[in-house]
């Protein structure tokens, strides 16, 4: 028979070319479990409205259970002729229950309110999965910071040596960014906990169904849509989810880029674990940071998923348009890419070997203590403008002689400025420079300790 849900007024079936273009079963099968949950909730609300008898409801729910079992066992298969997974499962139900009973389920709902409800459910589940994977990465990074509490490294701006920082402080900066990503997912979930089921094709239902009870049944904590047109036509929740996943990708790619640099011969800050790096088919000496590179690469793909969806949504008139079917593949992809990337990325970070001697050797290099000289002068009452000039003069002399700041003699200091007494040496070392930055959020060991405690507490509630 004709499997189309809309065949009645059409003399001809769809052309092959249309069917090929229109079909979405090859990707929207992912919505099958949510479709079945939606159908159960819809059956119950039809029963509440006296549109299904007690016996019909019982048989309907049994039919849906059977369909679910057959789908999982692979004995019920959606085909291209079904168009989408929702028509496929409806066909499956009709085959199992007969048209008289099976045909009653479609009353008062449309694929327009179905798809967007089920899509919300899918994304809400994956927000939790991705949130959990982010927490695992944060745990690994906090562990990395904890294991190297007192290691100094060159802090950089413009990729140039700027000021020494604690390695832990640097790593925790990434944890802070990931905490905001996790928070974004939680806040998104709150906003998305509204069910469009019951909006029908666009105008609502005349059958006296109760959308609020469907919403509760499907776990939407904030009830059902206040506007059926908005319910069926809006996809800002999908765009927002695509942004959050793209931002996660971007944050991972920033860590990745650093790992790639740190792992070069020139930096030699870290060594990757064998299990989380790859070799070269031709160069036997190679040990490549492929996980970090894939993170960097996939972040571009995640950004593409976001911009592609936004371009699809732009200027779409209300209410549902078939363009909206293009919402699913990019979002499924964003979820699946992060879910395969994050565990590997966490493994890479958890097994990183840090070369503390190398980091510490470079921490004071490149005149990174020049600011400390200037700030020391300020504490002696010298105006910062003068202090900055004097410290700059020190750097100039060092550059001319090919030495570091702490190698200047007392005479050289005195010649540069009368304010530069030998006491300036107290700040010309990394540990003094670190310890002095002890106000909230600073890189002093005491401040980093506070930060670690706060992040750990945040990870527990997250």
CB of 61 to ligand ARG, least distance (A): 24
By CB atoms closer than 10 A (0-12, 13-18, 19+), residue 75 is: exposed
Distance CA 13, CA 4 (A): 9
| Secondary structure element (H or E) that encloses residue 68, with its range | helix 54-73
Residues 6+ apart with CB under 8 A from 452: 142, 145, 146, 168, 172
| Secondary structure element (H or E) that encloses residue 171, with its range | helix 167-192
Number of H helices, E strands in the chain: 18, 4
Residues 6+ apart with CB under 8 A from 142: 172, 175, 452, 455, 456, 459
CB of 201 to ligand ARG, least distance (A): 7
Distance CA 322, CA 25 (A): 15
C-beta of 9 vs 158, nearer to ligand ARG:
9
Distance CA 132, CA 126 (A): 10
CB of 98 to ligand ARG, least distance (A): 25
> What distances in angstroms separate CA 168 from CA 147, 283, 436, 446, one per listed residue?
9, 34, 16, 12
C-beta of 80 vs 250, nearer to ligand ARG:
80
CB of 74 to ligand ARG, least distance (A): 22
C-beta of 324 vs 455, nearer to ligand ARG:
324
Q: Which of 158, 206, 281, 439 is catalytic?
A: 158
CB of 122 to ligand ARG, least distance (A): 12
By CB atoms closer than 10 A (0-12, 13-18, 19+), residue 191 is: exposed
Known catalytic membership, residue 280: yes
CB of 260 to ligand ARG, least distance (A): 39
Rounded to the nearest 10 degrees, the angle between the axes of helix 32-48 and helix 85-102 is 30
CB of 225 to ligand ARG, least distance (A): 17
C-beta of residue 345 within 8 angstroms of C-beta of residue 137: yes
Q: Which of 222, 273, 280, 446 is catalytic?
A: 280
Interface residue list for ligand ARG (CB under 6 A): 24, 84, 111-112, 115, 320, 322, 324-325
Query: Scanning the structure block, which residue is given the tokens 């997912």?
Result: 185
Where do runs of H (alpha helix) occur along 104-166?
111-147
CB of 15 to ligand ARG, least distance (A): 16
C-beta of 318 vs 340, nearer to ligand ARG:
318
By CB atoms closer than 10 A (0-12, 13-18, 19+), residue 139 is: middle
**DSSP at 406:** G
Where do runs of H (alpha helix) occur along 276-427?
290-313, 328-350, 356-362, 370-379, 384-401, 410-416
C-beta of 114 vs 452, nearer to ligand ARG:
114
Structure tokens at 105: 């389920």
Query: Scanning the structure block, which residue is given the tokens 């929702």?
Result: 86
C-beta of 84 vs 333, nearer to ligand ARG:
84
**Which residue from 161, 88, 157 is spatially nearest to 365, judged by alpha carbons?**
161
CB of 327 to ligand ARG, least distance (A): 7
Distance CA 65, CA 40 (A): 9
C-beta of 174 vs 328, nearer to ligand ARG:
328
C-beta of residue 326 within 8 angstroms of C-beta of residue 28: no
C-beta of 255 vs 324, nearer to ligand ARG:
324
Question: Which residues are identified as catalytic?
Answer: 158, 280
């Amino acid at each position: 028979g004709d499997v189309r849900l809309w065949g009645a007024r059409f003399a001809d079936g769809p052309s092959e070319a249309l069917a090929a273009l229109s079909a979405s079963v090859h990707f929207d099968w992912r919505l099958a479990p949510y479709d079945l949950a939606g159908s159960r909730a819809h059956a119950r609300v039809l029963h509440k409205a006296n549109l299904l008898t007690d016996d019909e409801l019982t048989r309907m729910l049994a039919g849906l259970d059977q369909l679910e079992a057959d789908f999982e066992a692979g004995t019920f298969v959606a085909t291209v002729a079904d168009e989408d997974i929702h028509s496929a499962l409806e066909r499956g139900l009709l085959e199992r229950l007969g048209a008289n009973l099976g045909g009653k389920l479609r009353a008062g709902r449309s694929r327009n309110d179905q798809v967007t409800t089920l899509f919300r459910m899918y994304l809400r589940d994956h927000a939790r999965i991705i949130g959990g994977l982010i927490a695992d990465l944060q745990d690994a990074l906090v562990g990395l910071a904890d294991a190297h509490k007192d290691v100094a490294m060159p802090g950089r701006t413009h990729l140039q040596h700027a000021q020494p920082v604690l390695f832990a402080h640097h790593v925790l900066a990434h944890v802070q960014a990931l905490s905001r990503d996790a928070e974004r997912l939680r806040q998104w979930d709150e906003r998305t906990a509204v069910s469009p089921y019951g909006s029908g094709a666009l105008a609502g239902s005349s059958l006296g169904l109760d959308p609020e009870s469907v919403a509760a049944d499907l776990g939407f904590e904030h009830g059902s849509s206040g506007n059926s047109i908005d319910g069926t036509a809006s996809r800002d929740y999908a765009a927002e989810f695509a942004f959050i996943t793209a931002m996660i990708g971007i944050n991972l790619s920033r860590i990745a880029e650093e790992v790639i640099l740190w792992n070069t011969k020139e930096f030699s800050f870290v060594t990757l674990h064998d299990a989380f790096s790859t070799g070269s088919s031709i160069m036997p000496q190679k040990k490549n940071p492929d996980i970090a590179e894939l993170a960097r690469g996939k972040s571009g793909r995640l950004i593409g998923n976001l911009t592609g969806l936004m371009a699809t949504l732009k200027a779409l008139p209300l209410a549902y348009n078939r363009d909206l079917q293009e919402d699913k593949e990019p979002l499924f992809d964003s979820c699946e890419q992060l879910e395969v990337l994050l565990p590997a990325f966490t493994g890479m970070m958890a097994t990183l070997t840090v070369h503390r001697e190398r980091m510490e050797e470079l921490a004071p290099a490149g005149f990174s203590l020049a600011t400390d000289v200037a700030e020391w002068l300020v504490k002696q009452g010298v105006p910062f403008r003068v202090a900055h000039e004097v410290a700059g003069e020190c750097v100039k002399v060092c550059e001319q002689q090919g030495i570091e700041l702490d190698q200047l003699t007392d005479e050289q200091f005195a010649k540069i400025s009368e304010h530069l007494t030998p006491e300036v040496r107290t700040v010309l070392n990394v540990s003094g420079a670190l310890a002095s930055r002890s106000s909230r959020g600073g890189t002093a060991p005491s401040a980093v300790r506070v930060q670690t405690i706060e992040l750990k507490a945040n990870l527990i509630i997250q």
